[in-house]
Structure 1
Amino acid sequence: GGRGLCGANAQVVAVKAVRIHLVWFCPRNFVPPCYRMMKTRAGNADQTEEDAEGAKATKAALTSMPYQCQELILYGSVFADNLPDLERRLTGLCDPGSTEFHEHDLSFSLRTGTDPDVTIRLRRRFNVDSFNSHQWQFRYIGGPEPDQKCPVIVRKVIDSIAYSHLMMDFVKTLGLRMDYEYIAKGTVWTNGKMKVVISQIQKTEKAGYYDQSNLKRFSDSYLVEMSVCLPDSAEYTAV
Structure 2
Amino acid sequence: MAQSMGTAIDSLNAAYNSNIIPNQEYLLQGSILDSAVEVLLHRLRGLCDNVDSSPETFDDHEMCFSIRVMNTPPLVLRVRRALDHPEMPWQLRYIGQPELGDKSRPTIVRSSLDIGTSSTVVEFLTELGCHLDFEYITKGYMFRKGRMKITVSKIFKVNQGNEGGSDGSGGPPKPLSQSYLVEVSVVAHNGLDAVAEDVRAFADQLRPLVLLDKIDYKRL
The answer to whether 1:144 aligns with 2:102 is no
Residue number among 44, 49, 54 corresponding to 1:90 in the alignment: 44
Q: TM-score, normalised by structure 1?
A: 0.66
Residue number among 181, 184, 187 corresponding to 2:138 in the alignment: 184
Name the structure 2 match of 1:123.
Answer: 80
Name the structure 2 match of 1:154.
Answer: 109
Letter in 2 for 1:72: Y
Matched residue SS, 2:197: coil
1:111-137 superposed Cα distances (whole Å, 9 cap, x missing partner): 13433322111111114x73xx58311
Name the structure 1 match of 2:197.
Answer: 238
In structure 2, the gaps of 5 or more residues are: 199-220
For residues 185 and 25 of structure 2, what CA distance do their matches in structure 1 show? 7
Please show how residues 1-239 of structure 1 align to structure 2 within 5 Å: 66-96=20-50, 97=53, 98-127=55-84, 130=86, 133=87, 135-146=89-100, 147-164=102-119, 166-206=120-160, 211=165, 213-236=171-194, 238-239=197-198
Q: Which moved more, 1:138-147 or 1:206-215?
A: 206-215
Q: How far is 1:167 from its partner?
A: 2.9
Q: TM-score, normalised by structure 2?
A: 0.71
For residues 79 and 24 of structure 2, what CA distance do their matches in structure 1 show? 19
Matched residue SS, 2:123: helix
For residues 126 and 232 of structure 1, what CA distance do their matches in structure 2 show? 32
1:116-169 superposed Cα distances (whole Å, 9 cap, x missing partner): 322111111114x73xx58311111011113222132110011110014x3322
Matched residue SS, 1:123: strand
Name the structure 1 match of 2:207.
Answer: none
**1:82/1:199 Cα in 2 relative to 1: closer, same or farther (>3 Å)?**
same
For residues 30 and 185 of structure 2, what CA distance do their matches in structure 1 show? 12
**1:120/1:85 Cα in 2 relative to 1: closer, same or farther (>3 Å)?**
same
1:68–1:159 contact (8 Å) kept in structure 2: no
1:204–1:210 contact (8 Å) kept in structure 2: no
1:67–1:159 contact (8 Å) kept in structure 2: no
Greater relative contact order structure (CA < 8 Å, 6+ sep):
2
Q: How far is 1:207 from its partner?
A: 6.9
Matched residue SS, 1:238: helix
For residues 118 and 141 of structure 1, what CA distance do their matches in structure 2 show? 9
Letter in 2 for 1:176: C
Matched residue SS, 2:45: helix
2:142–2:149 contact (8 Å) kept in structure 1: yes
Aligned-residue CA RMSD in angstroms?
A: 3.0
Q: Which moved more, 1:108-117 or 1:96-105?
A: 108-117
1:101–1:186 contact (8 Å) kept in structure 2: yes
2:79–2:122 contact (8 Å) kept in structure 1: no
For residues 66 and 207 of structure 1, what CA distance do their matches in structure 2 show? 45
**Greater radius of gyration (CA):** 1
**What is the number of residues matched between the two proteins?**
180
